[in-house]
Amino acid sequence: MRYRLLATTILALSVVLAGALCGESVPHRPTWTERRFHAAPRAVRVAWAVVMEQAGLSVDHREVVGRADELVTRWRRFQVEDFGPSVAHDTPTINRDYPYVSPTHLRQGIYRVRARILSRGGGTWLVLQTELLADAYNVLEFEQQQVERYSNGAIEDVLYARVGQALDRTASSRTTNPPW
């Protein structure tokens, strides 16, 4: 038992030191993505509300937002079936600043979305940022923790597609004549 702990400690320290020598750093912030829709801002807001409801997302009113036009959702658990086999960039190299081991392909965790709906350039833009938390093992403290991971755009692509579908449904329901 004592030898196993010693071997684990040596392995953890060698991984941390090797990562420190590589000089890679942890990404600073998740990126914002944007998509232009040829619809009125009100229609995009309605479509976004429908998509949020379908995805089980709700607005987090406790979150202090620096911008009046920004909406933040509550954290929601996701599985591989929701968005595909991998939704995050690769994990950073393990080093002193980032001593976490987590799966390369993030298949489950929790996420929340920051959204802005902007009118500019003759269209309406939906701007999204997804924040992810994943389970990881801290090799310095020898315990499970949740760490921030950075979206690779898979979640945003699914949400943009759903907003587009919701806009198409509302547009087709307006152009279709009633059956009577």
**What is the domain range of residue 71?**
2-175
The number of C-alpha atoms within 13 Å of 115 and in the hemisphere containing its C-beta is 27
Per-residue model confidence (pLDDT) at position 137: 92
Interior angle at CA 119, CA 116 and CA 121, nearest 5: 130
Give yes or no for a contact between 94 and 139, defined as CB atoms under 8 angstroms apart: yes
Question: pLDDT at position 173, please?
Answer: 66
pLDDT number for residue 103: 81
Q: What pLDDT was estimated at residue 27? A: 52
Distance separating alpha carbons of residues 52 and 70, to the nearest angstrom:
14
Tokens matching residue 38: 């040829």
34 lies in a domain?
Answer: yes
Q: Is the dihedral of CA 164, 166, 172, 175 positive or negative?
A: negative
**In this structure, are residues 130 and 109 in contact, taking their beta carbons and an 8 Å threshold?**
no
**What pLDDT, on the 0 to 100 scale, is given for residue 61?**
79
Residues 91, 71: Cα–Cα separation, whole Å: 27
Instruction: Assess if residue 108 is contained within a domain.
Output: yes
> What pLDDT shows up at residue 170?
79
Beta-carbon contacts of residue 16 (< 8 Å; ≥ 6 apart): 94, 95, 96, 99, 139, 140
User: The tokens of 124 are what?
Assistant: 């309406």
pLDDT tens series, the chain, 180 aa: 555 544 455 545 454 444 444 444 445 577 899 999 999 999 999 999 999 999 999 988 776 666 777 889 999 999 989 998 889 888 878 888 889 888 878 888 999 999 999 998 888 999 999 999 999 999 998 999 999 988 999 999 999 999 999 999 877 666 544 443
Residue 180 in any domain: the answer is no
Instruction: State how many domains the chain has.
Output: 1
Residue 64 pLDDT:
60
Closest CA to 112 of 65, 42, 144, 168: 65
Angle, nearest 10°, between helix axes 41-55 and 154-175?
120
Q: Is residue 161 part of a domain?
A: yes
